[in-house]
């Protein structure tokens, strides 16, 4: 019994360090992920601060692959092709860069709904493109049934 406790005492610190290192790596990967950046955008929108929302949007776009390689608001709007999204982002930009008394106010709820919808659509579109690429690599089109000398390949 004493020997088992000694062995456990000797192994326990190594196991705890390994578990802690694995948790740390997992947490750091999450903090660099697109999902974390989008949750930060949601959190900023809940507070209703236009400046925080805009910078959270920019941070999220840096990690959002379907907008690559530019990762800008303009590229996001161009890829999304959504007039309501353009209006909501434009309202935030007007609030920050050209505030006027008669301008329409931006709504965090509407902005998140539009950005979330565009995110879903773009991710779905990117997944379909990836699936198509995988199928093309699996069954390449245009392979010749003749050899380089012009003769038919032998049946095997």
pTM: 0.71
Percent of the chain that is helix, strand, coil (3-state, to 5) = 75, 0, 25
pLDDT of 123: 92
Confidence tier at 140 by pLDDT (50, 70, 90): low
pLDDT tens per residue across span 24-73: 999 999 999 999 999 999 999 999 999 999 999 999 999 998 887 888 99
């Amino acid at each position: 019994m004493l020997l088992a406790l000694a062995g456990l005492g000797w192994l326990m610190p190594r196991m705890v360090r390994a578990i802690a290192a694995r948790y740390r790596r997992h947490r750091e990967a999450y903090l660099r992920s697109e999902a974390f950046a989008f949750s930060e955008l949601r959190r900023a929108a809940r507070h209703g601060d236009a400046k925080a929302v805009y910078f959270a949007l920019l941070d999220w776009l840096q990690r959002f692959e379907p907008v690559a390689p530019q990762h800008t608001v303009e590229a996001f709007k161009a890829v999304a092709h959504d007039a309501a999204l353009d209006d909501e982002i434009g309202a935030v930009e007007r609030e920050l860069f050209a505030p006027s008394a008669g301008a329409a106010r931006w709504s965090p709820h509407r902005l998140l709904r539009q950005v979330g919808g565009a995110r879903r659509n773009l991710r779905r579109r990117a997944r379909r493109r990836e699936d198509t690429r995988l199928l093309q690599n699996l069954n390449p089109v245009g392979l010749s049934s003749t050899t380089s000398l012009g003769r038919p390949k032998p049946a095997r």
